[in-house]
């Protein structure tokens, strides 16, 4: 090729027809011109290439993010990955309760709508009808009628009324429990990392539900205990006014049998109803406090604590079973990572050419 080009140059330089154009003739000059033209074309296409490569890199990075991080090989790395995923779920769960995400407001609906409506449906006034008051007072007297005031009758009337509040209280506990379970399901669905590992998703869900179940039982015990305390100990100050109220309502010197007339029984029912309504209003405030303290607050504070304790005891094989990613997903992540590396290398090379003088 060197000899051929030398002869070509000699020919154009010695030829009368081409001697004046010898510096612009021959394959060597043509190669230089074509190279310069190609360089110009390439430089004109560089912005488009840069844009295409940048777009592809962003797409690859986005797809890799959706696929999640690769699983670590060692037990410590697997445990760390599992803990990080669980913390992401726990954070999503807390955001629902704190109002950052929707769902937590339904708990207030239980306290503001469901509980008051259930208490209203108890209809204490019907329970304290004249017939029922007469029946309970008579039964409380036993074989000897009361001498001054039917204290045992009052107690039975109050206890039989207040004990019915256990139903709405228990229903409120169950209502909040159902909402918390729904929030757990939402948080699991919103935790992208859990979609990567189906077994871990199931394990986290089961652990969260088990914790909520324990919290519900504790909440039910504490909440029903509030009702039982009201049934077991009556407010003395309220009943110290009863003799004055009786005197205003009738003559306390009436015979024992006259005290069982409708007017007297109506006064007893009215007095008991006032006390029951007062206690019911108090429980309407204390029941939500008990539920929030035992369920909502505990769920925010320690939903996965027991799961974390058990997680620390697991060996590498057990952690690997929990992080059972689809092999096809692993292969796709590896392929995408290789493509991304190639595109980034091309980006670096093209940038170097574009910025060179």
pLDDT averages per 10-residue partition of the chain, 357 residues: 82 78 78 86 80 89 76 74 92 92 92 95 89 82 63 86 95 97 95 86 95 97 96 84 49 50 84 92 96 96 92 81 73 82 86 67
Contacts 24+ apart (CB under 8 A), 46-53: 46/350, 46/353, 46/354, 47/354, 49/350, 50/347, 50/350, 50/351, 50/354, 53/343, 53/346, 53/347, 53/350
Q: What is the pLDDT of residue 273?
A: 92
Q: Tell me the angle at which helices 166-190 and 198-232 cross, rounded to the nearest 10 degrees.
A: 160
| DSSP code of residue 40 | H
**Would the pTM of this model clear 0.85, i.e. be above it?**
no
Alpha helices in the chain (DSSP H): 2-14, 27-67, 75-98, 105-109, 115-120, 124-127, 130-141, 151-162, 166-190, 192-196, 198-232, 236-239, 242-249, 262-291, 297-302, 305-311, 316-322, 327-355
**CA pair distance 231, 165, nearest whole angstrom:** 10
Contact of 85 with 191, CB cutoff 8 Å:
yes
In the block, residue with structure tokens 């590896």: 334
- Domains defined for the chain, CATH in brackets: 75-243+255-324 (1.20.120.1240)
Q: What is the pLDDT of residue 255?
A: 47
Contacts 24+ apart (CB under 8 A), 285-290: 286/226, 287/111, 287/115, 287/169, 287/172, 287/223, 287/226, 288/111, 288/115, 288/172, 290/219, 290/222, 290/223, 290/226
Q: What is the pLDDT of residue 161?
A: 93
């Amino acid at each position: 090729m060197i000899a051929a080009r030398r002869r070509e140059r000699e020919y154009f330089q010695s030829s009368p027809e081409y001697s004046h154009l010898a510096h612009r003739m021959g394959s060597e000059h043509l190669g230089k011109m074509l190279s310069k033209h190609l360089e110009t074309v390439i430089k004109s296409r560089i912005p488009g290439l840069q844009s295409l490569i940048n777009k592809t890199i962003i797409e690859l990075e986005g797809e890799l993010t959706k696929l999640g991080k690769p699983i670590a090989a060692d037990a410590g790395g697997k445990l760390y990955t599992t803990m990080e995923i669980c913390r992401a779920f726990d954070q999503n769960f807390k955001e629902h309760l704190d109002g950052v995400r929707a769902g937590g407001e339904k708990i207030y609906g239980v306290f503001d709508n469901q509980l008051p409506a259930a208490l209203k449906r108890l209809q204490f006034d019907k329970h304290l009808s004249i017939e029922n008051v007469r029946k309970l007072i008579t039964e409380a007297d036993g074989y000897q009628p009361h001498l001054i005031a039917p204290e045992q009758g009052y107690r039975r009337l109050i206890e039989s009324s207040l004990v019915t509040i256990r139903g709405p209280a228990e229903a409120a506990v169950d209502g909040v429990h159902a909402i918390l379970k729904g929030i757990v399901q939402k948080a699991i669905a919103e935790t992208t990392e859990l979609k990567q590992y189906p077994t871990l998703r199931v394990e986290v869900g089961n652990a969260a539900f088990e914790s909520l179940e324990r919290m519900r039982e504790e909440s039910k015990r504490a909440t029903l205990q509030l009702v039982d305390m009201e049934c077991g100990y009556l407010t003395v100050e309220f009943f110290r006014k009863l003799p004055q109220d009786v005197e205003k309502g009738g003559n306390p010197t009436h015979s024992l049998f006259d005290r069982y007339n409708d007017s007297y029984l109506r006064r007893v029912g009215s007095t008991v109803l006032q006390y029951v309504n007062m206690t019911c209003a108090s429980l309407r405030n204390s029941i939500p406090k008990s539920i929030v303290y035992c369920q909502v607050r505990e769920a925010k504070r320690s939903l996965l604590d027991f799961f974390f304790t058990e997680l620390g005891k697991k060996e590498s094989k057990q952690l690997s079973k929990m992080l059972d990613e689809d092999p096809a997903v692993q292969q796709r992540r590896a392929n995408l990572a290789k493509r991304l590396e190639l595109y980034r290398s091309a980006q670096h090379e093209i940038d170097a050419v574009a910025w060179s003088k």
